[in-house]
Structure 1
Amino acid sequence: MLFTQCINHKGLVGLAASWLKRRKPSNQISCTEVFTELVTINNTGEIPDVIGFNYWTSVVVEVKTSRADFLRDRKKPFRQEPIKGMGEFRYYCVPKGLVKKDELPNSWGLLEYDSGKLVCSLLPERMKSNAVEERIFLLSALRRLKK
C-alpha cells in the first residue's frame, strides 16, 4: 500500500488541532476550545491526540502515522466499547492511503493528510460519549489554567 508519510505525529497533531478550530461548511464541526495530547488521570486511560469542545458537542481526533499504530489502537478498551470513549464525533487523522474507509470503526470519520493539508474524506456520525471522562478532562484543563 502506498501512502504519503512526510509528516510526523506531532506535525499531524498540530494540523488536526488547527483544522478543528477552523470554520468549516455546515456539515462539519468547528470547536472553540481545542486541546492537544493533554494527559489527565481518568478511569479509562484515554489520552486524545486532539479533543475539541463547542457549545453543543465534543470531537476527538486520533492521529496515526503507521498502520501498526492504527491496528494497535483498535485493541484499547475504550475502542472496543465506544461508549467508554470521549468525543461525540470521532476522527482518525492519517497520511493519505494509510487506512481504508472500510477499516474504520463504525461511526468514525477520516481526515487524510495530502500535499500539505488535511482533507475530510469521511464524516463521522454522532455517537454516545463518556461524559464523565470528558468532565474529568475539562476539570484537569481548568485546574492547569488557574495555576
Structure 2
Amino acid sequence: MIKTQSKTATKRNNATSDKMKALLFEYFRFSPKQMHCVSEVICEYFTNKTADIEDFIAFNETTRICVEIKTSKSDFLADFAKLKHKDFAKRYTKFYFCVTSDLKDFALEYLRINYNNYGLFVYENNKIQVVKNAKINKNLTFLRDEKYLFMRMSSELATQKMKEIYYE
C-alpha cells in the first residue's frame, strides 16, 4: 500500500516551504551577502538529458549556492536519488539543505555520514539558521549562466506582480 499525504498535510508543507523560501531570500539578499536570489530553477543534466528543479539559488559573479527545501524525511531522502548529487562537483560553489526543526538531527547525521561537504539550514519559529556550513567546492567546472538566472528572476518577479494585480 502506498502512503500519501492528506490534502491538509500537503497544504501545510507547501505553506512551510514557501515561508522557508522567503526567509532564504531575506538571508541571502538583505544580509551583508547582497546576493541575487531565484527559486524554482530548471537545471538540465546534459550527461543523460534529464532535468530537475532547484528550489533556491543565490548567486553573484563568482558564486552559486543551491538550497534544497525539505519538509519531510521521505522527501529529504528521495532527493539523493537525483543526478544533481552525482553532478554536484561541476555546478555549485556550495550546496545546502533547508529543513524543518523536526528533521534537524536526522539531516545533520545523514549529511555527516554521506555528504559531509553539504551544509544545513534549519527552519524553526519563523526563522532560519545555519547549523552546518557547507564546504566550498574546489572542483567547480561549470557555473550556471548568470543571464539565465537573471531571466528566471525576472519571470518570477513578473508572475508575483501579476498575482498582486489579479488576486487583490
Shorter-chain TM-score tier: 0.7 to 0.9
Matching of residue 79 in structure 1 with residue 85 in structure 2: yes
Partner SS state of residue 82, structure 1: helix
Matching of residue 20 in structure 1 with residue 28 in structure 2: yes
Aligned to 1:27: none
Matching of residue 94 in structure 1 with residue 103 in structure 2: no
Contact conserved, 1:31 with 1:52, CA < 8 A, in 2?
no
TM-score, with normalisation over the residues of structure 2? Answer: 0.67
Contact conserved, 1:40 with 1:47, CA < 8 A, in 2?
yes
What root-mean-square deviation, in Å, do the aligned CA atoms of Structure 1 and Structure 2 show? Answer: 2.7
The residue identity in structure 2 corresponding to 1:131 is F
**Displacement of 1:53 after TM fit?**
1.1
Q: 1:41 to 1:76 in 2, by over 3 A?
A: closer
**Displacement of 1:83 after TM fit?**
2.0
Aligned to 1:119: 129
Contact conserved, 2:42 with 2:51, CA < 8 A, in 1?
no
The residue identity in structure 2 corresponding to 1:83 is A
Gaps of 5+ in 1: 25-29
Partner SS state of residue 102, structure 2: coil
Matching of residue 57 in structure 1 with residue 67 in structure 2: no
Larger proportion of strand = 2
Which of residues 25, 35, 38 in structure 2 aligns to 1:32?
Answer: 35
Q: 1:31 to 1:125 in 2, by over 3 A?
A: farther
Contact conserved, 1:40 with 1:140, CA < 8 A, in 2?
no
TM-score, with normalisation over the residues of structure 1? Answer: 0.75
Equivalent pairs: percent with the same residue? 23
Tell me how far apart the structure 1 counterparts of residues 121 and 29 of structure 2 sit (CA, whole Å).
Answer: 14
Aligned length: 134
Matching of residue 69 in structure 1 with residue 104 in structure 2: no
Contact conserved, 2:19 with 2:126, CA < 8 A, in 1?
no
**Displacement of 1:130 after TM fit?**
5.1
Gaps of 5+ in 2: 1-11, 156-168
Q: 1:31 to 1:90 in 2, by over 3 A?
A: farther
Aligned to 1:131: 142
